Structure 1
Amino acid sequence: MKKLDFWWIKAILSTFILILCTSWGFFAHKEINKMAVFTLPHPLMSFYKRHIDFITEQAVNPDKRRYIVSGEAPKHYMDIEYYSDSILIVRPDWNTAQAIYPEDSLHAHGILPWNLVRLTYRLTDAFKHRDAKSILKLSADLGHYVGDLHVPLHTTKNYNGQLTGQQGIHGLWESRLPELFSADYNYYLGTANYVTDIKKVVWESMTESRACVAQVLAVELKLQQQMKADKIFSYEDRNGQTVRVYSYDFSNAYHKALEDMVQKRMRAAIKCTGDLWYTCWVNAGRPDPAAFDEPVYSQEELEEMEKLKSVSSETCSH
C-alpha cells in the first residue's frame, strides 16, 4: 500500500512539473512566432502569413527535439556563472569559445547565443536557394531560440530556483504568467528593422535577460514569505486531469511586482525575431517570395513531424 501511495504522489508531482516547466511555455513560443510575422514588410509578410500556421505550431519543436535529438538541449540556454559575466562584454565568437573552453563544458553549460548566430547563417542560405521548406523550418526554430534568449532564467544555472528553494519558478515566470495575462499585452511593435550586427544584437539581448535574473528570483521569494502556503497554489483541470498550479492570486501579485517585465521580454523577443527573419532575407539579396515553390514534404519528414506532435510537454531543464 505504501508503495502504491508513493507511486501516486510521484505521478502527481511529475504531472505538475511537466505542465509548468516549459521554456517560455508552448503558448508563449507560439505567440512570439505568430506576432513576429506581423512585423515583416511586404512582400515578405505575405509569404510568412501564408504559412503562419506552420510557423506558429512549429515554434515548439526545438523543445520537443530535446528528448529525441542528441545535442539539442544546450542550444536553449547559457549558464553565465560558468563563463562569468565578463563573457557578456567579451562576446567571443564560436571558434574563439572552442579555443578557450573544453567542448564538453560548452555543451554542459549552454551554447544559446552561438547557436542562434549560426542559425541566422543557415536561414540566409535557405533564402539564397529559395528553399521554402528550409526557410519555414529554420524561421520557426530561430523564433524559438530568440524566445529563449529573452528569458532571464535561461541565463543562469539556477534556472528553476532549485539552488534557492524556489523550485517551479521557471514555469511560473515563463508559462503561467503569459497564459494568464498576455491577452492584455500590447503587441504593436512597428516594422522589422535590418540588423547590421547580428552577433551584437544577440549578445545584447542575452545581457538584458541576465540583468533581470536577480529581480525574478528576489520578488518571487519575497511573495512566498508574505503569502500563506495554502494561498500560493490552487488546482485546475487540464486535459482531464486535476493538477496543482500557482494560484491566480499569487501569479497576479508576482506579475504586478515584476512591473511589466514579462510583457517587455515577450515584446523584445517578437521584435528581435522579426528583425532577424528580415535581416536574413535582405542578406540573401531580397529574393522574391512569390517565386518560392510551395514546400513538399517527404514521407520521412511527415513521419518526423508526427513524432514531434506526440511530445506534448517537457521536463524542467533550461
Structure 2
Amino acid sequence: MKISRRSGSFLCKSGLFLAICITLISWGKYGHEHINRAAVMSLPVPMQGFFYNHIDFMTVESNLPDVRKYTLGDSAEFSRHHIHLESFGNIDSIPKSPKEAFAKYNAHFFAEHGMLPWYIQVMMDKLTIAFKGKHKSDILLLAADLGHYIGDAYMPLHTSVNHNGKQTNQVGIHALFESRLPELFGNTYHYNTGKVQYVADIQKETWRIVMSSNSTADTLLKADRDLTASFPAGKKWDRDAAGKVKLNMYKDSTGSIAYSKAFQTKLKGMVERQLRGAIATTASFWYTAWVNAGKPDLNELDPEELTQRNAPALAQEKDLFKQGKLFGIKSEKEF
C-alpha cells in the first residue's frame, strides 16, 4: 500500500499546522481530568493508597501531553494523540507492534497519520519498567500520560482522518463532542466503572479499542448531520450581539445550549460510554503494568504518615465514588 506523504515542517509553530493542532485537542481538560481521577478511585487497595496520595497530581497532569503539544510546541508530541485509520486501506496489513511500525514507517508518516496505538504500547512498557524499579516520579508521570493517550483512543474522531468534520462539512464537531458536551452534561455521568481487569494482551486490547472507536465515528458524524438538517437555521452555534459565532479559547465554535442538549440526546449516551471506557481501561492498564512488574509494594514510596493522614479522606471519597461521583474536581472551562 502506497501512502502519500506531505513534505515540509510539521511544527505547531507554523500557521497551517497550528490550525490543525487546535482542532485535535483531545477530550478537553474536563474529560481527561475526570478520566484519570476516576481511574485512581477504581484501583485495588494495594495500589490505591499510593495513587490517592497523589490524586491531584494525577488529575491535573492528565493534561500535560496537550501542554507539551500546544503550549510548548513540542513537534514530537502531536502524532501521539491520533491515528488516521482510513489512510491505511487494508487494516489487516497495519503492523500491530511498535517495533514493526517503527521499522516500516518514518517520522513524516507518523506526523501525517499518527501513532496513537503504538505509543500506548510504548508507554505501557515504560510504566512497567518504572514499577519494577519503584521509580516514584516516573510511575506518576507515565501513568498520568498513559491515561491521556488512552482517553484519546476512546475519542472516535481521534481515529479518523475526518477528525473535525472537514470532509463532510461538519467543522466544529470535534470540540462540540469532546469538550462542549462533557462540560455541559458531565455532572450527570456515572464515573464508577467497577473493578479493574488484568489485560493479558495489551497489543490486542489497544487495537480493539482503536478499531471500536473508529467504528463509532460514522455514527457520531451522522447524528450531527441529521440533527443539523432538522435544526432551526442559525441556531446551532451561540452568537454574540453582532450575530457572529462565539469562539472558545481555542477558536472552536461554541455549540448553543439548545443544540448541545439535542445532540446529547441523539447520541444516546455515547459521550458517557466512551469516557467510562477510558476510565476502565486506564485503571486496568495501570493495574496490569503493576502486576507485570511483580506487584511492588507502592506504600514504601511515600512516608507512612502521609498515607495515614489521607486515609480518612480516601474512605469518604470511596463512599462518594460508589455513587459514581467524584470529589473536589473543578476543571478549567474551555467554553
Residue 51 of structure 1 and its aligned partner are, at CA, apart by 0.3
**Residue 129 (structure 2) pairs with residue 125 (structure 1):** yes
| Percent of aligned pairs sharing the same letter | 38
Which whole-Å deviations, capped at 9, do the CAs of 1:143-167 have from their partners, x for residues lacking one? 0000000010001111001111111
1:239/1:256 CA distance change after superposition, 3 Å: closer
**Residue 65 (structure 2) pairs with residue 66 (structure 1):** no
Measure, in 1, the Cα distance between the counterparts of 2:125 and 2:333. Answer: 29
2:268 to 242, 254, 259: 259
Contact 1:233/1:246 (<8 A) preserved: yes
1:229 to 230, 233, 237: 233
**Residue 116 (structure 2) pairs with residue 107 (structure 1):** no
Measure, in 1, the Cα distance between the counterparts of 2:24 and 2:101. Answer: 30
Measure, in 2, the Cα distance between the counterparts of 1:226 and 1:238. Answer: 23
Measure, in 1, the Cα distance between the counterparts of 2:293 and 2:99. Answer: 24
Contact 1:124/1:283 (<8 A) preserved: yes
Measure, in 1, the Cα distance between the counterparts of 2:56 and 2:217. Answer: 33
**Residue 85 (structure 2) pairs with residue 76 (structure 1):** no
Counterpart in 2 of 1:10? none
Counterpart amino acid of residue 215 in structure 2:
A
* Number of matched pairs: 280
1:289 to 279, 285, 298: 298
Residue 90 of structure 1 and its aligned partner are, at CA, apart by 5.5
When structure 1 is superposed on structure 2, of 61-70 and 43-52 the one drifting more is 61-70
Counterpart in 2 of 1:273? 282
Provide the secondary structure at the position in 2 that maps to 1:225: helix
Provide the secondary structure at the position in 2 that maps to 1:71: coil
Measure, in 2, the Cα distance between the counterparts of 1:239 and 1:218. Answer: 24
Residue 103 of structure 1 and its aligned partner are, at CA, apart by 4.0
Provide the secondary structure at the position in 2 that maps to 1:212: helix
Residue 70 of structure 1 and its aligned partner are, at CA, apart by 2.5
Counterpart in 1 of 2:11? none
Counterpart amino acid of residue 124 in structure 2:
T
Provide the secondary structure at the position in 1 that maps to 2:286: helix
Provide the secondary structure at the position in 2 that maps to 1:160: coil
TM-score, length basis structure 1: 0.81
Measure, in 2, the Cα distance between the counterparts of 1:21 and 1:180. Answer: 20
Counterpart in 2 of 1:155? 159
Counterpart in 1 of 2:147? 143
When structure 1 is superposed on structure 2, of 253-262 and 62-71 the one drifting more is 62-71
Which whole-Å deviations, capped at 9, do the CAs of 1:196-239 have from their partners, x for residues lacking one? 11111111110110110111111101111111232111258999
2:56 to 48, 53, 58: 53
Provide the secondary structure at the position in 2 that maps to 1:175: helix
Q: Mind listing any 5+ residue stretches in structure 2 that lack a counterpart?
A: 1-17, 241-245, 304-331
The structure with higher relative contact order (CA 8 Å, sep 6+) is: 1
Measure, in 2, the Cα distance between the counterparts of 1:75 and 1:279. Answer: 21
Measure, in 1, the Cα distance between the counterparts of 2:163 and 2:247. Answer: 25
Counterpart amino acid of residue 67 in structure 2:
K
Measure, in 2, the Cα distance between the counterparts of 1:29 and 1:108. Answer: 24
When structure 1 is superposed on structure 2, of 126-135 and 182-191 the one drifting more is 182-191
